[in-house]
Chains A and B, each alone.
Chain A
Amino acid sequence: EAGVAQSPRYKIIEKRQSVAFWCNPISGHATLYWYQQILGQGPKLLIQFQNNGVVDDSQLPKDRFSAERLKGVDSTLKIQPAKLEDSAVYLCASSYQQGVVETFGSGTRLTVV
């Protein structure tokens, strides 16, 4: 089966600009996660969707980050405005249902200068 697709692969922006990341999960996967991985740290959950509903967004900086999953399939994560500390790899993962092992995408590496 096809894996979790993410784009772009890399992005460099200036601080205060906006950026959007896209994730296409494996077909039929109801659960979708966005993780942020800062260099030297483990991934941190930003938001979890079950179909098109939010399960957990407690660690999402809602003043600048937003995410949506229209129609319960693809998802976009947006940052506006970006800060230097947002430089990280943004990983998307999906699973058939909650509690089932997820498949991770290759990630989007964001550099904010």
Chain B
Amino acid sequence: KQEVTQIPAALSVPEGENLVLNCSFTDSAIYNLQWFRQDPGKGLTSLLLIQSSQREQTSGRLNASLDKSSGRSTLYIAASQPGDSATYLCASRDSNSGYALNFGKGTSLLVTP
């Protein structure tokens, strides 16, 4: 069964810093990998999706990379802002489990002014 791990569990940085969130998965036979943002008491917002054949995706200040061979993905946030404070979830989608998402526990990010 796919296991998704996110490191660190929590992170606090001053505004303006660049930061990296890490995600690892045990089964490299993934269909795609997705990064989500979750604000307290809110639902999930999809940030970036990387297909298994891709190496990275970019959206504004966000860049996600995927290395299937090592079972790793990273989410890079440039020039962090207080509005980036949220929990970031990584999830793999596997073709052998009905294409449902397997989520990590998330990284709680706090960006201080």
Q: State the A residues within 8 Å of B (CB).
A: 31, 33, 35, 40-45, 48, 50, 55-56, 91, 98-99, 101-102, 104-107, 109
Contact = CB atoms under 8 A, between A and B. Distances in A.
B101 A43 contact: yes
Given A33-B100, A43-B101, A45-B102, 12 more contacts: A42-B4, A42-B106, A43-B44, A43-B89, A43-B103, A48-B98, A50-B98, A56-B97, A56-B98, A91-B44, A101-B46, A107-B43
Contacts of A106: 42-43
Q: Classify chain B: how many residues form its interface, as a range.
A: 20 to 34
B98 A55 contact: yes
B6 to A, nearest CB: 8
Nearest to B45: A104
B98 A98 contact: yes
